[in-house]
């Protein structure tokens, strides 16, 4: 191979890598922009059977059947989680009105057998929210599942220890979850329902990423 050919080869490689990264970024933006900006309760209630078939095969409910439509629409934003078992539970618990949790046996289970849980405090405001706010809240909790997947079991446990011991870490962790949710097309819904990230911060992030709202 001539020197000029070798030079051309090594010149093209970084350019090709940059093009690949740019294409990936564009694909993510397009995916986030593909979802509806809002969901109509009337329209999507009529599609519940189709949504169950598409997204509900691994979702179960414990005293939480009224959250089914919001859960199915939220998980539709997360292709990875559609291969995970998710339990939505409403019960009397102490703590936040809604929390993301997981089975303690997840660390010995293969990825597709992991069990994640969304626990909703009985009689909390979560049960009285409109559909879009429920989707935003559940979508935020599902973003934590993505964080758990990326960190692994022991990384998650270490993170949870920091979560309960540091307010600064907790807020940072929650804001990162909001960004995960926005990256999965939930940004427009979070304008009206986000605990940790302001509307202005959401707008700035969506503008940076090229997401529509």
Q: What is the pLDDT of residue 93?
A: 83
Percent of the chain with pLDDT over 90: 64
The CA angle 140-23-178, to the nearest 5 degrees, is: 10
What tens digit of pLDDT does each residue of 22-68 get? 444 444 444 777 899 999 999 999 999 999 999 999 999 999 999 99
* Contact (CB, 8 A) for 143 and 187: no
As a whole number, the mean pLDDT across the chain is 84
The residue with greater pLDDT, 32 or 207, is: 207
Which pTM does this prediction carry? 0.82
**Closest C-alpha among 177, 136, 182 to residue 156:** 177
**Closest C-alpha among 72, 81, 27, 22 to residue 47:** 72
Query: Quick check: 11 pLDDT over 60?
Result: no
Q: Cβ contacts of residue 24 below 8 Å, gap of 6+? A: none
Distances in Å between the Cα of 54 and the Cα atoms of 28, 51, 77, 79, 116 are: 21, 5, 12, 11, 19
Q: Cβ contacts of residue 126 below 8 Å, gap of 6+? A: 67, 97, 98, 120, 134, 137
User: How far, in Å, CA of 142 to CA of 137, rounded?
Assistant: 9
Mean pLDDT in residue range 84-109: 85
Domains of the chain: 38-209 (3.40.390)
What tens digit of pLDDT does each residue of 173-186 get? 999 999 999 999 99
């Amino acid at each position: 191979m001539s020197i000029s050919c070798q030079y051309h080869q090594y010149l093209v490689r970084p350019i090709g890598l940059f093009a690949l990264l740019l294409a990936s970024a564009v694909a993510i933006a397009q995916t986030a922009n593909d979802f509806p900006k809002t969901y109509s309760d009337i329209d999507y209630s009529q599609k519940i059977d189709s949504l169950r078939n598409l997204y509900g095969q691994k979702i179960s409910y414990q005293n939480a059947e009224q959250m089914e439509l919001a859960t199915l629409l939220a998980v539709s934003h997360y292709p990875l989680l559609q291969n995970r078992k998710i339990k939505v539970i409403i019960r009397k618990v102490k703590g936040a009105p809604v929390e993301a949790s997981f089975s303690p046996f997840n660390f010995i289970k293969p990825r597709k057998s992991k069990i994640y849980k969304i626990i909703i405090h009985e009689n909390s405001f979560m049960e009285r929210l409109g559909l879009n706010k429920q989707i935003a809240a559940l979508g935020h909790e599902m973003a934590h599942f993505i964080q758990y997947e990326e960190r692994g079991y022991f990384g998650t446990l270490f993170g949870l220890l920091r979560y309960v011991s540091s307010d600064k870490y907790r807020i940072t962790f929650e804001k990162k979850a909001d960004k995960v949710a926005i990256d999965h097309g939930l940004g427009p819904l979070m304008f009206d329902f986000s605990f940790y990230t302001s509307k202005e911060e959401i707008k700035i992030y969506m503008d940076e990423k090229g997401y529509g709202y």
